[in-house]
Amino acid sequence: MKRWAWFLICSLLGLVMLLCGWLVPQHLRAVDASVLRQAGRKTPALTSLGLALLNARNVGAAQLVVQAARASHAPGRDQLEAAVAEFLREQPRVQVLGTPDPYLERLLGVASRKDPAPAPLTELVLRLESRDDVMARLQASRRPVVRELLRLRELTNTVIFPPSHSASGQALDAALSTTGLLLEGEYFSRGLTDRLYDTAAQANRGGNPLAIEQLLLDVMSLGQRLSWSQLAALVQKTDDAETLRLLTHFLRKADGHLPALYAAVLFTGKSAAVGRYLLEFSQTGLEDLSASLAWNVGAVNELLERNQRLYRSAWRDTVVKYNPFGAFYDFAVDYAWLMPGFTLGMKWLFYVAAGFLLAMAVHHLRRVPALERPLQVRGFHYVREFLFGLGFLVMVLLLSEPFLAQDSQKVESPFRLRLPTVDSVLATGSHAPASSFMNQLSLLTLLLFFVLQALIYTACLIKLAEIRRQTVPPRIKLKLLENEDHLFDAGLYLGFVGTIISLILVSLGVIKPSLMAAYSSTSFGIIFVSIFKIFHLRPLRRKLLLEAEAVYPDPAPAVAASTLATSS
């Protein structure tokens, strides 16, 4: 009865520890949705951004925020949508530019448009009559950066755009017009304004015009997707040319997530951080950004700061609706937000404790035969159970950690136009592109095999120490060492099995080919088993052999001597 009582106690405590570890919302390669919700509490909501834009009479940007709020199911989206609709009912033609601006409306011919729907800025500027009026307006500008920009129309050595005076020069004129209007209205940030001036001046003084043309291309590409007020609000939040290039690239690819990306930049004011996040997570970043918008600006900032993928668990959300699970979960969420490193350590500690207690339950359930009682060494089973807890931690992490085995989504750099010269063509042909021979999954496989081999190596050392301390004669200890040969070779067996399984998965196309990851399993097994047998097992066997000979000397020499004497 006592054994069964301890078995039940340890089993229940082990399951409780396992449940506590599972309820802690902290992960290695992901940020939990509950942490973002906690970070977003008591911070401005997305609808507050829309209302602020509407109060500033920037209805174009507010319309994109409405779309982002609707897609992310942000609270208060119905009220914001109703406010925007009311504004447009009173002034329907405002949505062409996105803001009431009588001067620009006359300059761009908005009054002559039959359709009052939002119009991309580049579309308005490309109209011949509008382009001439805009150019005339910009030529009268007193801003040095605008005058320097217009001098680009005289260039004949352009790289991306055809020269302004050529038959297809309207593209360059449209880009100059769009950029000039934004500069004239002082919408560009100080960093972008300085960059525009420096690159334009360099091109006008005989330098390479590629840098300024790339900037103009980015602005014109944004103008093809955004109205005047939307584009003006975006470039105000963009600090440098590289960030502008990244945002242009991702907005061009965003499709249905364009409102979410636009709202994230305006919501946080961290355009560079948004660009870096999308560069790191090129496949899922837009969806995660869109989802985080529903939990206020604090959630978006937390996602960008942690620079990890978003993870949600439907099973856990169901369990925490009931107490006491919900109370523990709420307590853990606070620590996961404020102290992520400490919380992750506590989660792992829960898993180790769960494995230790479950191993203790099995230990109490096992009945030791009378013949084996002299072999029991006091306290050694605790070491084995702790080692099992570490192995249990590794297995739980492999099975439960989100995105642990997924490859990186990071892209080196978005597309940038490059027109090669003769020298660059020769250089490109003589050098193969550099490629990494290791990916995330290969590194994870190497680490897994190493940890498993280290655990087996430690288990063998523990068994060796236990046999050394058993109160039995040396000859029995030698026999016990022989009995453990299969345990001492377990590293080799695991190594062969790991290599075979890896090669099978590669042949089936489940994982990417990586011979290094496959053969590392056998390599680690050979290394660990060799170290154990040469530096640990061999010295102990030699010592036991000498002790056994000292206690029980071999009678063969004495028998031979007596036989010789008798015969003589």
474 in Cβ contact with 553 (< 8 Å): no
Q: Identify the residue with better confidence: 460 or 425.
A: 460
pLDDT of residue 450: 92
- Chain-centroid distance of CA 49 in Å reads 27
pLDDT of residue 419: 41
25 in Cβ contact with 306 (< 8 Å): no
- Highest mean pLDDT range out of 20-29, 133-142, 425-434? 20-29
- pLDDT band at residue 407 under the 50/70/90 scheme: confident
Tens of pLDDT, residues 93-136: 888 888 888 888 888 887 777 667 778 888 888 876 677 888 88
Of the candidate ranges 390-394, 525-529, 556-560, the one whose mean pLDDT is the lowest: 556-560
Tens of pLDDT, residues 230-242: 999 999 999 899 9
Q: Is the peptide bond before 162 cis (omega within 30 degrees of 0)?
A: no
Max CA separation in the chain (angstroms): 137
Which tokens sit at 272?
Answer: 């560079």
Q: How many angstroms separate the CA atoms of 87 and 418, rounded?
A: 45
Average pLDDT of the segment spanning 321-332:
93
Q: How much is the pTM?
A: 0.84
- pLDDT band at residue 518 under the 50/70/90 scheme: confident
Query: What DSSP string runs through 48-98?
Result: HHHHHHHHTT-HHHHHHHHHHHHHHT-TTHHHHHHHHHHHHHH-GGGGGTT
Q: What is the DSSP letter of 369?
A: P
Q: How many angstroms separate the CA atoms of 202 and 82, rounded?
A: 49
φ and ψ at residue 97, rounded to 5 degrees? -90, -20
Average pLDDT of the segment spanning 55-63:
93
Does an H or E element contain 106, and which? helix 102-107
Position of tokens 């063998």?
Answer: 460
- pLDDT band at residue 380 under the 50/70/90 scheme: confident
- pLDDT band at residue 458 under the 50/70/90 scheme: very high
Q: Identify the residue with better confidence: 392 or 471.
A: 392
